Every structure is written in C-alpha cells, then in structure tokens.
Amino acid sequence: MLPDSDKIPSSIKDVMKTMTTLGLEYEKIHACSNDCILYRNDYNGLSVCPTCKTSRWKVKNKSNKECIGVPAKILWYFPLIPRFKRMFQSSQTAKDLTWHVNGREDGKLRYPADSPS
C-alpha cells in the first residue's frame, strides 16, 4: 500500500491516491483569490465574489477571457475527525496520546500540565 521507504511519490496524484487508500479523505473547496469567501453553501453558485467582485475562475492573460471550470484558488480541506479516529485505532498510539490524563499519578512535575493551576 505504501511506497518503498526510499521513494517519494512523483506527483500530487500519487500522494492523494495513497492518502485515499489510507482513509484520509480530502475536499477541494473553491476560494476567492483575495481570500474573502469560500464558494460553498450559500456562495456555491456564484461566479463573482460578492465582497471584492473578482472572478471565481482563472483569467487568461493574453485574451482576458475567463477559463470556466478552472478555479482561481482552491482550498484543500482535510477533515480532522477521520484522522483522530485513525490515530486512536491503535491501542499503543491511543495510550501515548492520553498519557497526560491517565499517566500522571506519582505527583512529580515532568510537564507543564502537571503543575497545579
């Protein structure tokens, strides 16, 4: 499933294929090129940003035409909940991630969270 340890995937497509195989989904969300809004929910059908009036789509420099279907900016959203679920599937990793709650019993100050506040 994973590539050899000495080889890095050559393209973003290969990286995303590996991440999807591992259950680490992502979502592409179109965004305003000036970071005003995300084109989702109420703004999903818009082609122009209501705040700064820039186009949602890339513009060809020579002809000044919009490339409909090619967004000017894309936000890659990686949901956290599936990642946390995956981390806590391993009992050893879950133990390591919860040591600050379950493992402080001797009263020694080893970490800032051990101090009385």
Neighbours of 2 (CB within 10 A): 9
Q: Flag whether 92 is in a domain.
A: no
Residue 86 lies in a domain: no
Show the CA angle centred on residue 18, arms to residues 13 and 97, nearest 5°.
130
35 Cβ contact list (under 8 Å, min separation 6): 73
Which one-letter amino acid corresponds to residue 83? R
The answer to whether position 104 is within a domain reads no
pLDDT, position 42: 92
Considering the domain boundaries, does residue 17 fall inside one? no
Q: What average pLDDT does the segment 69-79 reach? A: 89
What is the count of structural domains for the chain?
1
User: Minimal CA–CA distance to 24: which of 85, 67, 70?
Assistant: 85
Q: Evaluate whether residue 22 is within a structural domain.
A: no
pLDDT of residue 16: 81
32 versus 15: the higher-pLDDT residue is: 32
Overall pTM > 0.85? no
> To which residue do tokens 């946390």 refer?
84
Look over the chain and give the mean of its residue pLDDT values, rounded to a whole number. 82
Tokens of 38: 């995300």
Indicate the residue type of 50. P
**Can you give the residue range of the structural domain that contains 37?**
29-81
Residue 68 lies in a domain: yes
> Mind listing the pLDDT tens digit for each residue in 97-115?
887 777 666 667 777 766 7
**Domain presence at residue 1:** no
Q: Which helix (H) or strand (E) holds 68?
A: strand 66-71
Highest mean pLDDT among 12-16, 42-46, 65-69, 89-93: 42-46
Task: Decide if 39 is inside a domain.
Answer: yes
Mean pLDDT to the nearest integer, 66-89: 85
